[in-house]
Amino acid sequence: MTVSNDVSLPDDYPEDHPLHGRLNLNRFIFCAGCLIGTAITAITSCLVERGLTPKDYAIVSGIGCTGRSSGCFKAPAFHATHGRAIPFASGLKLANPDLEVFVLSGDGDLFAIGGNHFIHACRRNIEINVLCNNNGIYGMTGGQCAPTTSIGDFTSTSPYGNIEPPFNLVSLAAAAGASYVARWPGYDVLRLKGSIMAAMDNPGFSFIEVLAPCFTQYGRKNNLGDAVKMLEWLRKQVVIEKNCPPHDAEYSHKNGRIVCGEFVNSPREGFTQKIKQLRETAQKKR
Amino acid sequence: MSSGSQEKSKQSKLILTTGNYACAEGAIAVGCRFFGGYPITPSSEIAHYMSRRLPQVDGTFVQFEDELASIVAVVGASYTGAKAMTATSGPGLSLMAETIGLGFILEAPMVIITVMRGGPSTGQPTKASQSDVMQTRYLSHGDYEMIVLAPASVQECYDFTIRAFNLAEKYRTPVIVATDGIVGQMMEPVRYHSNFDVINRKGPQVPPEDYQPFEIIDEDLVPGMATAGSDYNFYVTGLTHDVTGSPDMTPEGAIKLITRLCDKVRRGRPEINDWEENHLDDAETVILSYGINSRGTPEAVERARQKGYKVGSVRLKSLWPFPEELMEKLGKIGIKKLIVSEMNYGQVIREVERFRHLGFEVSGMLVPTTIPFSPGFIYENIIKEMQK
Ligand SMILES: Cc1ncc(C[n+]2csc(CCOP(=O)(O)OP(=O)(O)O)c2C)c(N)n1
Ligand code: SF4
Ligand SMILES: [Mg+2]
């Protein structure tokens, strides 16, 4: 992340812009060309298109480059601690089930330090929408290995090449019980937005993996070039498949094949609904 | 118990129950409607009770995957306006360390009950201890203040949990109720009275368009709290922030925020601090104890007084922020010796030693045991100390 205080950013879009009043543009402190901003605007556009105002939703992020995304939303927005975005969002949703709750956080945040919370939130099918900005690395802290880093790749903590296999997030989410699972490249905003809408429709836990290369860390360490070159590198590997079972959704930079699409869309009753029913049972028994 | 006395206790609402249950019922009584927790001896009965009670009052109980999730969810729930809590014991509290700091810097009202057991590490899970009182104070990193209450009876479990919520709401900060394996699990008669005020947090004091989440309008240094689901937009972060909530990485920003957050609690000391005094009028030697370990002190003091020793005692009902006013008072009275009695190898005594300049000697009865000191043991120590 390149934070420069010299560049003065506007606070907001002009008044006739559809996202006017929804974002703090001066908090977009990401490297120019980083797709974190795209995910932020995609979520915000969907909220606006749904006719939702900030009193209807809440945004939570953990710590990292993607962690800084929550500050960009003009909404009840929470910058939690590293790894804890999901339990924070769960607390919000459980105590106020009317809220549309989004988590936007990094792959390290959600799947290393916060991995346990992720699988349990999937299992509970709690009605929150989790977007993982997957750049395969710890962007903010200097480009260390993440649980999504491919075998053989170079990072600050794998100077001889990574020896650990990465998680396939789609397959992990599906196995843990997420009722909606999709993966898209961050540049494919239309499909990404379609999935965000579907996530809001799903009455349970929704997970969207957003592929968003980090040229500043990953690109530099693996000679993959600048922002544009890295997007081209990614585009060559992306294969969009329909009706692909989640466990066949290949995620392999090594094979040059990253299968994208919607892999799970099987709505079932969400956790806060179950809690409502539990209350009825408890109150009848009294 | 005869049926007659059962009838009577029903009328007077005097019931026989455990400290853990009393904490839980106190929480419900003062309006707690969210509990997130993870089982750990000797605190688990609080979770058991909450899982039964909360759904009856439209509340939410969740057993999370660990203590990290539990306390983070409590912060989240607090930011919807709910009164929220968790309960644990030493090992679980250790896992909550980082989030105590988050709750403090986000100024989220919340209550944590820790039922102290033997430590370090897994220690003696089913036993009692007072070896986590410094943990309750200095758990998290960074400069911060904690409010910690220390019940010594089942009745106080009920009363202090109510008070903990009220203080949390008033000061917008995490509050810990530090009980122990004995107070938590022993049974005593308790009155579930409704003879208390309910304090609710201060809301935003300006319209949404003028709202800044950490703007200070009142002298109490407590900002008005907006919640998710209202008309207010706000961003809160664990990074050092300015009044707008924006990260502020300047030294001035750190000084301004940290001093306000700490002073908010420090200034509240006269209201927060609470203790009990016994024979201070003529005491030359005073026993200081708290929690379960204070229960044997009065009898020991009486025995020593019958023998002509000028002994008194104080019992701390709140541990943190440390009751400096009490130390000053003891100095003014002119006591000669303060004996700190605690079920650990010396924790609160370190805080007390800071006040030696007030003219009294400090010594300790410090045993890292899991059973409270008997009156006989305390008595013998008093005599030994006074004959020195
Ligand atoms: C408890 C704790 N451990 C470590 C850190 C340091 N830290 C901050 S962000 C981060 C990794 C972020 O990686 P990721 O979630 O992938 O986010 P990205 O920057 O790539 O968007 C780490 C290790 C921290 N803030 N807190
Ligand atoms: S993820 Fe990488 S490219 Fe994006 S802001 Fe962080 S360092 Fe820059
Ligand atoms: Mg990352």
CB contact under 8 A, A76 and B227: yes
CB–CB contact A54 B233 (8 Å): yes
Q: What's the pLDDT at A6? A: 55
pLDDT at A286: 75
DSSP state of B221: -
Of B55, B65, B73, the CB nearest to A88: B73
What is the chain A residue with the closest CA to B58? Answer: A279
pLDDT at A7: 59
Q: Which residues of A touch B204 (CB under 8 A)?
A: none
Kindly indicate the confidence band of residue A3, based on its pLDDT and cuts at 50, 70 and 90. low
Environment class of residue B124 by beta-carbon count within 10 Å: exposed (0-12), middle (13-18) or buried (19+)?
middle
Q: Is B202 left (phi over 0), alpha (psi -120 to 50) or beta?
A: beta
**Low-confidence winner among A35-44, A52-61, B2-11 (lowest mean pLDDT):** B2-11
Atom 10 in ligand 1: residue holding the nearest Cα? A64
Q: Are B304 and B352 in contact (CB under 8 A)?
A: no
Average pLDDT, chain A: 96
Confidence of residue A9 (pLDDT cuts 50, 70, 90): confident
Helix, strand, coil fractions of chain B, as percent rounded to 5: 40, 20, 40
Q: Which residues contact B206 (CB under 8 A, 6 or more apart)?
A: B215, B217, B224
- Asked if residue B321 has a cis previous peptide bond (ω within 30° of 0), the answer is yes
B251: CB partners within 8 A, 6+ apart? none
Q: Which residues of A touch B31 (CB under 8 A)?
A: none
The identity of residue B316, as a single letter, is: L
Indicate yes or no: CB of B236 within 8 angstroms of CB of A77.
yes
C-alpha to C-alpha distance for B213 and B205, rounded to whole angstroms: 10
- Residues 6+ away with beta carbon under 8 Å from B271: none
Residue B64 is nearest to which of A24, A87, A98, comparing CB atoms? A87
Q: Do A76 and B65 touch (CB under 8 A)?
A: no
Beta-bridge partner residues of B116: B180
Q: Where are the beta strands (DSSP E) in chain B?
A: 14-18, 32-37, 60-63, 83-88, 110-116, 147-149, 174-180, 187-191, 235-237, 275-278, 285-290, 311-316, 318-320, 337-342, 361-366
What range defines the domain where residue A44 resides? 2-285
Per DSSP, what are the bridge partners of residue B286? Answer: B312, B338
Test A98 with B229 for CB contact under 8 angstroms. Answer: yes
Chain B: closest CA distance from residue A126 (Å): 12
B292-306 pLDDT, tens digit per residue, is: 999 999 999 999 999
| 3-state DSSP percent of chain A in helix, strand and coil, to 5 | 40, 20, 40
Percentage of chain A beyond pLDDT 70 is 97
Q: What's the confidence (pLDDT) of residue A38? A: 97
Note the pLDDT of residue B11.
46
Please indicate whether residue A139, judged by its CB atom, sits closer than 6 Å to ligand 2. Answer: yes
**In this structure, which residue's CA is closest to atom 4 in ligand 2?**
A34
Contacts of B80 in chain A (CB under 8 A): 91-92, 95-96, 99
The helix or strand, by DSSP H or E, that contains position A52, with its residue range, turns out to be: none
- Mutation test of the interface with chain B: which of A84, A93, A281, A286, choosing the one with the most B Cβ atoms within 10 A? A84
Instruction: Report how many domains make up chain A.
Output: 1
Rounded CA separation A172/B371 (Å): 48
Residue A140 contacts B where some CB pair is shorter than 8 Å: no
pLDDT at A238: 98
- Mutation target for B interface from A82, A103, A275: give the one with most B CBs within 10 A: A275
Nearest in space to B171 (alpha carbons), one of B258, B264, B80: B264
Q: Comparing C-alpha atoms, which of A155, A151, A145, A205 is closest to residue A178?
A: A205
Say yes or no: CB of residue A66 within 6 Å of ligand 1.
yes
Phi, psi of B351 (to 5 degrees): -70, -40
- Is the separation of the CB atoms in A88 and B72 below 8 Å? yes
The verdict on a CB contact (< 8 Å) between B76 and A120 is: no
Q: Is A138 in the pocket of ligand 2 (CB under 6 A)?
A: no
Residues of A in contact with B81 (CB under 8 A): 95-96
Whole-model pTM: value is: 0.94
Q: How far is the CA of A133 from the centre of ligand 1 (A)?
A: 13
Identify which of A79, A84, A286 has the shortest CB distance to residue B72. A84
ipTM of the complex: 0.91
3-state secondary structure of B137: helix
pLDDT of residue A1: 57
Question: What pLDDT is attached to residue A63?
Answer: 97
Nearest CA to ligand 2 atom 2: A214
Q: Measured from the CA of A66, which atom of ligand 1 is nearest?
A: 21
The 10s digit of each residue's pLDDT in B95-110 is: 999 999 999 999 999 9
User: Which DSSP string corresponds to A222-267?
Assistant: TT--SHHHHHHHHHHHEEE-SS--GGG--EETTTTEEEEEEEEE--
Separation of alpha carbons A2 and A32, rounded Å: 8
Residue partners of A223: CB distance under 8 A and separation at least 6: none
- Looking at residue A136, its amino acid is G
Q: Which residue of A has its CA nearest to B51?
A: A282
Give all domains of chain B, ordered by start, each with its CATH number. 3-191 (3.40.50.970), 276-386 (3.40.50.920)
Q: What CATH number did the domain enclosing A255 receive?
A: 3.40.50.970
Residue B12 is predicted with a pLDDT of 52
* Ranges of chain B whose pLDDT falls below 70: 1-12
Output DSSP code: residue A167. Answer: P
Q: Given this model, what pLDDT does residue B348 score?
A: 98
The upper half-sphere exposure of residue A126, i.e. CA atoms within 13 Å in the direction of its Cβ, equals 27
Chain A positions in Cβ-Cβ contact with residue B233 (cut-off 8 Å):
54, 74-76
Per-residue pLDDT tens over the stretch A233-273: 999 999 999 999 999 999 999 899 999 999 999 999 999 99
